[in-house]
A and B are shown apart, each in its own frame.
Chain A
Amino acid sequence: MRDAETEAATRSARRAWLLSAPALALLFFAASGPLLIVLVYSFLAPGTYGNVVWEFSWDGWVSILYTRDIFDGTLKLADAHLTIFWRSVKLSLMTTLITFAVGFPTAWFIATRPPQQRAMWLFLITIPFWTNLLIRTFAINEVIRNEGLMNTVLIKLGLIARPIQLVYTDTAVLIGMTYVYLPLMVLPLFAAIDRFDMRLLEAAHDLYASRMAILRRVILPIVKPGIIAGSILVFVPSLGAYVTPRVLGGGKNMMIGNFIELQFGQGRNWPLGAAISMTLLVIVMGALLVYVRVANRGSNPHG
């Protein structure tokens, strides 16, 4: 009896693997496998016209932080690279903070609507989420660029004499990313708040907790998994953003994503590009790992 059961389980597991095999094979061919190639490329020497020369070299990794002086071969800290890294981290953190500041009240608002209305508000937040990122970036560009809606209206109203230059600045990239990633913050926050028993608030109030105390001691701890999920969902794509900084930041306000592309294009330093890609991947995986750990610990908020 026991044997028959084990055998059935083994057969079932084998069938599961067989059924999953085509998906796994395609993903290995066109997603995971190529990542290994990037790892290998980061340890090779750059070719003169792009691509690589098949000899081992640390140069790709070294040149993330340092540039080699072409005359005496000494290493100097690569200021330009550090600026790009710093800009990416700074803008991604600020995007996360602003989307939270705006997203939390929005998610709260949606979660406290009557049930029939809630579906409508959720749908309204989901449409921009699924709308082509490029289209949304175009849309925000139409509003903030020099001849755009915002400047035209402000000039017509006589508030400003000449257009405010926003496009091709870090601020424009920040506005763009906040706009584009806001739904990614609102959705997990909503999910967390939605599960929240509003009677707890009344209980806290009855026990003479102030509004601040209710927010800090009752709401935040319970909503924490949603906050972390939202922050990760916004921070991770912000850090690797390519389209938004390219369209709104122009050539001078690159982020890591554009810098990677540059190395595979005009920069012709594939090993450096590969090394930065791996660095970005490691940072993102680290963030996700932290998320999984915290989320698992926080999965039972009442326990």
Chain B
Amino acid sequence: MAERSFSASYLPGFATVAIVAFVLLYLPIATLVTFSFNAGKSVAVWEGFSLHWYGDAWKNQAIKDATVRSLVIASFAAAIATTLATMAALATTRRKAFKGQTFIYVVINQPLMVPEIVTAVALLIFFAQIKVATGYQGLGYLIVAHSAFCIPFAYLPIRARLEGMDLTLETAAADLYATPWQTFRRVTLPLMAPGIAAGAMLSFVISLDDVVITEFVKSGGQDTLPTYMLGQMRRAITPEVNAISTALLALTVVLLTAFFLLTRKRT
């Protein structure tokens, strides 16, 4: 009987380390969120509840502009990356392996492998030349750069969705005299929609969060929320930055929860 009470999966001390790890993981974030509601300027001493840092952030024109810029870039980047990734995912799944397929994988996943700082520097040099040649200084560069590094993040969930898809449905549609376009429009697309939505959301979050590439690619006066915050770090951190962080954090959590609900396996 003593043998039966042996639980092989239990290793002494592991649960303790795990719980401590979770606490340490959330403690800094909880601190940041809590003190964004602090009445005083301190980020360590609680002086009563107040929303005035949110008010200050709201009234700050630089923050407003950065927020709008962040949202515009993230929306365009998510739309472009998701469209291109959907096409690429359709091309690379559900068919016999073809010559060059590995090449396509490598190119698509390249932004995940190359250190961000290296891509950032590369784009700095490249876009600097184009800026001189064309005189264009707008948000286009940021949108193009963000779209590119969002492609793998859009591609992965879409591809996962397509790989789990039953091909017989499409065959059945074809057997019932649906044209290829009808089959795609009425069968394939609805089935892959959750993957596309998940990919779009991930791209949006990734674009919204990017610091390094944006910092190097942006022209003067084109701060996004993260680069604005990084700039603020040079001076003393204000609870205003905590307030922006908390707002951004809330947005991320909402989008991620939606992502999880979308990609959750049907039971």
Chain A residues engaging chain B, CB cutoff 8 angstroms: 9, 12-13, 15-20, 22-24, 26-35, 37-38, 41, 51, 102-103, 105-106, 108-110, 112, 121, 123-128, 130-136, 138-143, 147-149, 151-152, 179, 182-183, 198-199, 201-202, 204-206, 211, 214-215, 236-237, 239-240, 242-243, 246-247, 256-257, 260-261, 264, 270, 273-274, 277-278, 280-281, 284-285, 288
Contacts and interface: CB of A to CB of B under 8 A. Distances in A.
Contacts of A201: 8-9
A105 B13 contact: yes
B29 A131 contact: yes
A26 B148 contact: yes
A266 to B, nearest CB: 14
Contacts of B96: 9, 12
A29 B230 contact: no
Interface string B93-119: 001101111001001101101111111
Interface string B221-259: 000001001100100010001100100110011001000
B88 interface: yes
B90 A19 contact: yes
17 contacts: A27-B108, A27-B151, A37-B125, A37-B126, A106-B22, A109-B19, A124-B25, A127-B256, A128-B29, A134-B211, A147-B43, A148-B43, A179-B24, A205-B8, A239-B115, A260-B117, A285-B113
Task: Kindly list the 8 A-B residue pairs having the minimum CB-CB distance in the complex, ordered from nearest.
Answer: A240-B115, A201-B8, A109-B18, A34-B122, A139-B28, A19-B91, A30-B148, A105-B17
B123 A30 contact: yes
B260 A142 contact: no
A274 B72 CA distance: 31
A136 B29 contact: yes
Contacts, number: 273
Interface string B114-151: 11111111111110100000000000000011011101
B121 A38 contact: yes
B262 interface: no
A38 B95 CA distance: 37
Contacts of B212: 242-243, 257
Contacts of B145: 30
B252 A131 contact: yes
A109 B120 CA distance: 38
A109 to B, nearest CB: 3
Contact of A130 (B12, B205, B230): B205
Contact of A134 (B22, B92, B205, B226): B226
Nearest to A40: B125
Nearest to A198: B9
Contact of A141 (B9, B83, B120, B237): B237
A117 to B, nearest CB: 12
A277 B85 CA distance: 28
Given A130-B256, A139-B32, A205 B6 contact: yes
B interface residue count range (under 10 / 10 to 19 / 20 to 34 / 35 or more): 35 or more
A192 B19 CA distance: 20
Given A105-B13, A135-B249, A240 B25 contact: no
A40 to B, nearest CB: 9
Contacts of B6: 202, 205
B3 interface: yes
Contacts of B107: 23-24, 27-28, 32
A183 B117 CA distance: 21
A283 to B, nearest CB: 9
A242 B226 CA distance: 14
Contacts of B12: 211
Given A41-B125, A105-B13, A139-B31, A23 B116 contact: no
A13 B252 contact: no
A53 to B, nearest CB: 14
B16 to A, nearest CB: 8
Contacts of B237: 138, 141-142
A171 B211 CA distance: 23
Given A240-B117, A261-B117, A273-B121, A13 B99 contact: yes
Given A142-B237, A147-B43, A260-B121, A9 B115 contact: no
A253 to B, nearest CB: 15
Contacts of B98: 9, 12-13, 16
B97 to A, nearest CB: 10
Contacts of A239: 115
Contacts of B11: 105, 108, 211, 215
B155 to A, nearest CB: 8
B126 to A, nearest CB: 4
A288 B109 CA distance: 13
A20 B104 contact: yes
B32 A142 contact: yes
